[in-house]
Structure 1
Amino acid sequence: MPAPRSSSVTQSPVNSGQIATLQSGNRPESLDSKGAKDYIVVLIRSDTLDRILKMSILKSYRNPDPLVQYCVNHSLRLTDVQKRLNDLTLQHRRGRMLGAPEVLQLNSNIMQAIGAKKVLDIGVFTGASSLSAALALPPEGKVHALDISEEYTNIGKPFWEESGVADKIRLHIAPAAETLQKFVDGGEAGTFDYAFIDADKTNYDRYYELCLTLLRPGGVIAFDNTLWDGAVIDPADQTPDTVALRKLNEKLKDDQRINISFLKIGDGLSLCFKK
């Protein structure tokens, strides 16, 4: 789930569901008037916007590759509620941040395979990942969903209720590192089974270390977006998110505390199995 970064880009009006990018300090008067509803304002780098658009194409719901679609059509098992939440999310102005459904289903399959009961979902957005995880857990299972705002998580809550899993999901609205540290300080180290991390990239390594402490041996940490539209292999790209992901990938490669599988699905999925 890529997060926009501030910088100077061009200005353009948009219709509902699109992004208007503005130069810093160049705010049209109409945005402060009744015309504001016609604009969605995001201050982002032009190269970051391009990457967000490209990354959405890598995900199966926008990927035209017939082999990708064949794989999806012969494997995805989404409930009707999941499909409707995905459809609603994709209509949102930031719908491209929706996790690839094949990635979320793989998470769920692994959770069931390892008998997961206690899960971390770091970066909730509209709640598709939390819903997928909750559906995979037994009745006594719990998904601890971590986000910094209820603006988007409120979209998913009715779908959690409709699926009958709202009682399995506990939403924590605070910086994720703070919530994870509270779990550690509260004596919950070694009690979690699975962690899915799809949040701010510059904090991935911090989340990794905290999650590794919280996971039991045999538990799994899954990182989304670890290919970052291929930017991780472009030495010319020294933007903060890319640098952070590149460093993380190098670290995971040699980290003897885990076994790892790095998969080219969606925008890259790194699976770390705690020894």
Structure 2
Amino acid sequence: MELKHVVLTPELYDYLIAHGTPPDPVLTEIEERTKEFGRYQIMQTVPEQGALLHMLTKLIGARKAIEVGTFTGYSSVCIARALPKDGHLLCCDVSEEWTRVARDAWEKAGVTDRVDLVIGPALDTLRSLPQEADADLAFLDADKVNYWSYFEELLLRVRPNGLIIIDNTLFQGEVVNPDTEHESARLVHAFNERLAADDRVEVVMLPIHDGITLARKLS
């Protein structure tokens, strides 16, 4: 079978962004304020990922969502805006400084009443939740050493046919080399292998930005 892979050049990336729904002023301001955090700005969700999160949240009719790793709030704004007015998004993060930007963005986006932020280790937050499979969607974008533990806790709390969306699953292309010196890449490689063999979910990996994986919980 002939492959039709497209190399995403800077020009093609600009074309891709220009032909989707553009970020609005709230999201653009998050991008600008995130630059103040220097090298950490690489952790921000990019526009095409945010648009995908928004669309998936809408498509599955999500009312309840969980986010592990909020940072400055780009992804949470995209998810929260797609929820109904009585929807709920639980955000887990460890930084008051980073999430201060997120709090401002939620207010400007008019979604503050849909979002609860818990500051502290996300595993503690998740494990404190009832083990009820009533969440429709979860987004995982946090420290890689705990990826599988986060996934297990989220899977307990996502309904059948619900989605768990995992970021950075191609990790700069390093995941194809299990012997890479990059510890996070090794952890993501191991996570990907384990997830692909998990018969509790249906999985598709998308080459968007640093890789994003969709895991649908089976009945």
Superposed pair shares fold, TM > 0.5: yes
SS in 2 for 1:92: helix
Match of 1:141 in 2: 87
SS in 1 for 2:14: helix
CA separation in 1, counterparts of 2:85 and 2:58?
12
Deviation per residue, 1:81-104 (Å, 9 max, x gap): 111112221343121211112112
Query: Deviation of residue 235 (structure 1)?
Result: 3.6
Query: Deviation of residue 66 (structure 1)?
Result: 1.6
Matching of residue 213 in structure 1 with residue 159 in structure 2: no
Deviation per residue, 1:29-59 (Å, 9 max, x gap): xxxxxxxxxxxxxxxxxxxxxxxxxxxxxxx
CA separation in 1, counterparts of 2:63 and 2:195?
25
Instruction: Please tell me the residue identity of whatever aligns with 1:72.
Output: I
Aligned with 2:18 (options 69, 73, 76): 73
TM-score (normalised: structure 2): 0.91
Q: Which runs of 5+ in 1 are unaligned?
A: 1-62
Match of 2:3 in 1: none
CA separation in 1, counterparts of 2:88 and 2:67?
10
Aligned with 1:271 (options 211, 214, 217): 214
Aligned with 1:124 (options 70, 88, 96): 70
SS in 2 for 1:77: coil
CA separation in 2, counterparts of 1:262 and 1:76?
23
User: What are the equivalent positions in structure 2 for 1:87-106 lying under 5 Å apart?
Assistant: 87-93=32-38, 94-106=40-52
Question: Which runs of at least 4 in structure 1 moved beyond 4 Å after TM superposition?
Answer: none
Match of 1:45 in 2: none
Q: Which deviates more, 206-215 or 148-157?
A: 148-157
Match of 1:192 in 2: 135
Match of 1:260 in 2: 203
Deviation per residue, 1:1-32 (Å, 9 max, x gap): xxxxxxxxxxxxxxxxxxxxxxxxxxxxxxxx
Structure index of larger Rg: 1
Match of 1:223 in 2: 166
CA separation in 1, counterparts of 2:190 and 2:95?
28
SS in 1 for 2:164: strand
Instruction: Please tell me the residue identity of whatever aligns with 2:174.
Output: A
SS in 2 for 1:83: helix
CA separation in 1, counterparts of 2:37 and 2:48?
20
CA separation in 2, counterparts of 1:175 and 1:211?
14
CA separation in 2, counterparts of 1:137 and 1:77?
19
Contact 2:178 2:189 in 1 (8 A): no
Contact 1:90 1:98 in 2 (8 A): no
Match of 2:186 in 1: 243
Deviation per residue, 1:243-267 (Å, 9 max, x gap): 2111111112121111111011110
User: What are the equivalent positions in structure 2 for 1:10-89 lying under 5 Å apart?
Assistant: 65-89=10-34
The CA RMSD over aligned residues, in Å, is 1.4
CA separation in 2, counterparts of 1:82 and 1:205?
29
Report the identity percentage. 35
Instruction: Please tell me the residue identity of whatever aligns with 2:164.
Output: I
CA separation in 1, counterparts of 2:190 and 2:32?
34
Match of 1:166 in 2: 112
Query: Deviation of residue 64 (structure 1)?
Result: 5.5
Contact 2:179 2:186 in 1 (8 A): no
Instruction: Please tell me the residue identity of whatever aligns with 2:41.
Output: G
